[in-house]
Chains A and B, each alone.
Chain A
Amino acid sequence: MIALLQRKPFFSLAFLLFANLLLLSVQVRNTEGRLLLRSLSLLLFTPIASTVHFVVDGVTGGVKQYALLYGAQKENILLREENARLGVELAQLRGIKSLVSRREESPMLEEQFLFDTFLAPVIWKSPPFYAHRLVINAGSLKGIRKDDAVITPQGIVGRVWATTPFTSEVELITNDSAAAGAMLEDSRLQGVIQGDGSLTMTWNFIPNYESVEVGDIVYTSGTDRLYPKGFPIGKVVQSRKGVTVYRDIQVEPFVDYLRLEEIMVVRDHSRKGEGIE
């Protein structure tokens, strides 16, 4: 080993420099509170992920658009119908918003329900047995900050864990120790949804005497000041009396994290906006 180091001096230099950087990284955290090494690895790795995503997207897009026109017309018709329906719904909501804006509690309601979002593609997903994280192709230069909520129209996805100028790492709500305030729509029963590293989540702090049925839909309560209020999380797939004072409830998320291709980042929860950018 020593003879090898003597023959390859640059190898020993690289090794020692890396050792120094490693030593620094376990002491230094960046402004987001992330370890330096973790931030550097994200900065170094994500250009590769972006390039792979760009190439794969370009090839599959070209194949879909030009080679596989099968079903294009049918999909076009369905999209037109959905667009028309959404247009009508939007007009109705604008009318409701106009009515609500004349009420006293309008500023509070606007703060809770109106927010600005940014659409970003997913360029990398971590293997689920390690950590439930993914990387999106938008970073601090697009106004994304740590702890910004990440959603899709189907439901919440997670929160921004770390950012670089061009990319962001998102922690999924199913990740171990990830959590969100959650409630039932009808009864307004509130608790805390917590991920445990599996594909379902645990809904904590619901007393045994409360009624929660399988199939009930769970929404964000807004109490965590992270996720917008009233966004769907998932549905209850198991509800039974727990051994403690709380029920044992498992919730299956609506979002299929393994097939996510695009997400929306809630950039500023307090800003007014028309919804999707």
Chain B
Amino acid sequence: MNETLRNSEVVLLLAATAVAEIVFANYLPVALYLDLSLVLALYIGWNSSPAKGAVSGFAFGLPQDAISGIFLGLNGLSKTLMGFGGSYLSKWLLLEGLLARCVLIGLLSAVDEGIVVGMRALLGQTIQQEVWLRILIQVPVTGFAGGVIFHFYDRIKFPEKDFRQV
């Protein structure tokens, strides 16, 4: 696996995501429909080894739990799986198109939310009706924004080379 993301980069992304989520939670709640932790955990997993994807997912999920005020470990668990799965998906799927990536990220967002809601139900928590509406909005928003983030980050990480000089 081609490790294109250095550990220092991952740590920076983690810090930036935590700050962003705190800012969104306090000042721009509508931005929380974008599951930034999921998008970045997927991106790191997509461009790294499965182990690194899993660790990144764990690291991104825990602050999200802490900021959301739910049980620590719920998003940690789901993002661990997403980061790990993202790495394997990158081997099986070659998705370069923006639309394809948006669809995939949207689907994975639905799976991620399904895991969190399922775990909460297993733990005996009441699941309010509003949760389903939130997921219905979050899936396309995360899918679209995730695809765009993937696209632009790829442009930064993999600038187009001038092959005429080869």
**Which residues of A come within 8 Å of B, CB atoms?**
5-6, 8-10, 12-13, 16-17, 19-24, 27-28, 30-31, 36
Contact = CB atoms under 8 A, between A and B. Distances in A.
Interface string B53-77: 0110110010000000001111011
B54 A9 contact: yes
A19 B87 CA distance: 20
Interface of B: 49-52, 54-55, 57-58, 61, 71-74, 76-77, 80-81, 84, 87, 119, 123-124
B80 A13 contact: yes
B149 to A, nearest CB: 24
A203 to B, nearest CB: 40
B11 to A, nearest CB: 15
B73 A20 contact: yes
Nearest to A15: B54
Contact of B49 (A6, A10, A24): A6
A6 B80 contact: no
A28 B55 contact: no
A201 to B, nearest CB: 36
A16 B73 contact: no
A20 B76 CA distance: 6
Given A9-B49, A21-B77, A28-B71, 18 more contacts: A6-B49, A10-B50, A12-B51, A12-B54, A13-B50, A13-B54, A16-B54, A16-B58, A16-B80, A17-B81, A19-B76, A20-B73, A20-B77, A20-B80, A23-B73, A24-B77, A24-B119, A27-B72
Contacts of B49: 6, 9
Contacts of A6: 49, 51-52
Contacts, number: 59
Contacts of B57: 16
Given A13-B84, A24-B123, A5 B73 contact: no
A20 B58 contact: yes
Contacts of B77: 17, 20-21, 24
B124 to A, nearest CB: 7
Contacts of B54: 9, 12-13, 16
A28 B50 contact: no
A16 B41 CA distance: 14
Nearest to A12: B51
B150 to A, nearest CB: 22
Contacts of A10: 50
A36 B120 CA distance: 13
Contact of B58 (A8, A19, A31): A19
Contacts of B52: 6
A247 B153 CA distance: 77
B84 A9 contact: yes
A3 to B, nearest CB: 10
